[in-house]
Amino acid sequence: MKKLLYLIIPCLVASCGAKKETPEKNAILGTTTNWVSSSNDYAPFFDINSYSEHAEYGISEKYPVFVGGFKEKVGPTNQRRYLASLAGPQGEEIQFTRRGSCCPYSSENGYEGVGLLDVYEVWYEGLEEPILIYISFYEKEPLYIPHGFTKK
């Protein structure tokens, strides 16, 4: 029995000391399989008429889109309505799917003071690589068209 303990204890100690990998601060967190939607699947916002002054608006976690709706329990719908408001540069219908969440930030409306950005993969016919759009429903700000897109 003592010999067995001499074998088990070092194994337990070694396994407890194993380094756990932590995700990068802005890594997309795991998600379930999400369906593909089209910009025709949702009613668009009609009051999005101008482009953001930031070239990275919506396409960088530094300048996310804040669609609101968390308190009213329509946040995910607002995200999809925002995407339904967009078209490709030549008016192409876009398709999108939610990839997951990332990029924690301080938010009075978030869970325990923390909000997350949802990341949507967006594409349209002729696009070589999908574009990632960063959206949050915890806060509401004026909505703009990201550079590289047009209004639907």
pLDDT in tens, 117-152: 999 999 999 999 999 999 999 999 999 999 999 999
What is the reported pLDDT for 136? 98
Query: What does the domain layout of the chain look like in residue ranges?
Result: 37-151
Give the C-alpha separation, 39 to 87, whole Å: 8
Q: Which two tokens stand for residue 114?
A: 């923390």
- Calculate what percentage of the chain has a pLDDT beyond 70: 78
Query: What is the pTM (predicted TM-score) of this model?
Result: 0.78
Handedness of CA 61, 66, 71, 76 (dihedral sign): negative
Give the C-alpha separation, 130 to 127, whole Å: 7
